[in-house]
């Protein structure tokens, strides 16, 4: 009898192991929707009847909650953070997630023929009382979309980009940097002219750079002085005037020409219902808070630009294996190809594609509606 019980127990434990592996693989392939786990419990040896059933059910519920906590902890919030990491540094998120797991509803339970008990718990990722509702802080005043031409200007990527609104990534610093990104290139330009001017290189260091513009002026009167009496009709300054266009040649006009390569009129075509960004072959993995970036590292689509209510209800994007499954982008989607993926989670677009995406969104507003699909 003991041998039979031992064999039965071994079979049950094997089934439990298989069930656990299955849910782990499902978590690795997590793609939104809901997180579902099946807990398995067996009654202690020596019990029978209603007592055995109650003890087996209790064990199954405990096992289900343990698995649910593991699966939730493994959900990717963004390129660098999981829910577990977010809980470690944010007590508010930890409290909300813990309460959510404890309050998760049992959707199915049954006693098996062998006396074991199974309990199925389902936790929605989006919607009311969902995981998203505990991850994202209210964001009723979204930030304005970055200007389309900004994707061509220098930008210093921010590694502490806040993707949830809870300030987990030093929101104060992030907002300060975000506000300063427009002025960040400004301190760089003064140093650039101080090093670049060729006329000053024979002279001493870059400290004399400010005197460079005044240097040519005194030289001009002294040079034509000997020639004033002999050649009054050919003034020396006129000979040096061709040097004036040199500074004009340093002004880059490329940014104005690049958007014209996409849309010659500089205006959106309009009529797009969403966007499909092809990331196949780039190792993209699903996250709850993805960020679309331009080639220069500037975020052009993220949590800060959206209403948190929409994010909680539908998420920021959906993931599909083919365009046939990209219904979220609507019937007339804008199709773009990512040039790379940042952190295996954030699609990166070329400057031209990023410019066009922002132009078209300004006309159709499909990013505001989170009509975004990533192919992977």
pLDDT digits (tens, 9 = 90+) for 31-65: 557 899 999 999 999 888 999 999 999 999 999 99
Q: Is the sign of the CA dihedral 128, 324, 285, 139 positive or negative?
A: negative
CB 116 within 8 A of CB 12: yes
Read off the pLDDT of residues 265-292 as tens digits, 9 standing for 90 and up.
Answer: 468 899 999 999 999 999 999 999 999 9
| pLDDT tens digits, 124-148 | 999 988 999 999 999 878 999 999 9
Reading phi first (left if > 0) and then psi (alpha if -120 to 50, else beta), residue 344 is in left
Mean per-residue pLDDT of the chain? 75
Beta bridge partners of 117: 41, 111
Q: Which run of H or of E encompasses 22?
A: helix 2-28
Mean pLDDT of 347-352: 96
Per domain, the residue ranges of the chain are 2-134, 139-186+256-375
Residue 359 contacts residue 366 (beta carbons within 8 Å): no
CA distance 30 to 124: 12
Average confidence (pLDDT) over 209-219: 41
Per residue in 359-373, pLDDT (tens digit) is 999 999 999 999 999
Task: Indicate whether 15 pLDDT > 90.
Answer: no
Q: How far apart are CA 295 and CA 293, in angstroms?
A: 7
Q: Are 275 and 333 in contact (CB under 8 A)?
A: yes
Element (H, E) at 18: helix 2-28
Residue with tokens 């439990």: 16
CB distance 31 to 321 below 8 Å: no
What's residue 135's pLDDT? 92
Question: CA nearest 316: which of 349, 347, 359?
Answer: 347
Q: Return the pLDDT at 65.
A: 96
Mean pLDDT value of segment 72-82: 92
* Structure-model confidence comparison of residues 311 and 217, the more confident one: 311
Helices (H), 103-249: 131-135, 171-180, 185-195, 216-222, 236-240, 245-249
Answer whether residue 293 shows pLDDT above 70. yes
In this prediction, residues 196-220 reach a mean pLDDT of 42
Q: Which one of 81-90, 164-173, 265-274 scores highest in mean pLDDT?
A: 81-90
E strand residue ranges, the chain: 34-41, 106-111, 117-124, 274-278, 292-294, 299-301, 318-320, 333-337, 340-342, 346-349, 372-375
Residue range 317-327: average pLDDT?
Answer: 94
* Termini Cα distance of the chain: 54
pTM (global) more than 0.75 = no
């Amino acid at each position: 009898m003991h041998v039979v019980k031992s064999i039965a127990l071994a079979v049950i434990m094997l089934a439990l192991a298989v069930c656990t592996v299955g849910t782990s693989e499902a978590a690795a392939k997590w793609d939104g929707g809901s997180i579902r786990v099946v807990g398995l419990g067996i009654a202690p040896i020596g019990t029978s009847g209603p007592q055995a059933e109650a003890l087996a059910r209790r064990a199954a519920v405990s096992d289900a909650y343990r698995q649910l906590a593991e699966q939730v902890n493994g959900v990717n919030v963004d390129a660098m953070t999981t829910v577990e990491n977010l809980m470690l540094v944010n007590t508010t998120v930890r409290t909300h997630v813990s309460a959510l797991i404890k309050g998760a509803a049992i959707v199915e339970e049954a006693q098996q023929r062998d006396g074991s008990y199974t309990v199925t718990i389902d936790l929605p990722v989006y919607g009311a009382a969902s995981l998203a509702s505990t991850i994202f802080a209210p964001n009723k005043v979204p930030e304005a979309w970055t200007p389309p031409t900004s994707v061509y200007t220098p930008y210093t990527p921010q590694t502490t980009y806040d993707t949830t609104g809870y300030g987990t990534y030093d929101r104060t610093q992030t907002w300060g940097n975000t506000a300063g990104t427009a002025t960040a290139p400004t301190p760089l330009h003064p140093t650039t002219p101080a090093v670049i001017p060729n006329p000053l290189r024979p002279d001493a260091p870059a400290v004399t750079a400010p005197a460079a513009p005044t240097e040519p002026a005194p030289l001009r009167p002294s040079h034509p002085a000997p020639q004033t009496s002999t050649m009054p009709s050919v003034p020396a300054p006129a000979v040096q005037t061709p040097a004036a266009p040199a500074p004009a040649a340093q002004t880059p006009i490329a940014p104005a020409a690049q958007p014209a390569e996409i849309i010659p009129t500089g205006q959106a075509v309009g009529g797009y219902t969403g966007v499909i960004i092809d990331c196949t072959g780039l190792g993209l993995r699903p996250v709850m808070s993805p960020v679309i970036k331009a080639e220069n590292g500037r975020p052009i689509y993220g949590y800060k630009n959206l209403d948190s209510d929409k994010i909680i209800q539908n998420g920021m994007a959906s993931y599909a294996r083919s365009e046939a499954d990209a219904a979220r982008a609507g019937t007339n989607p804008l199709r773009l190809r990512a040039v790379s993926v940042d952190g295996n989670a954030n699609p990166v677009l070329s400057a031209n594609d990023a410019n066009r995406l922002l132009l078209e969104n300004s006309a159709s507003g499909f990013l505001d509606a989170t009509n975004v699909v990533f192919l992977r």
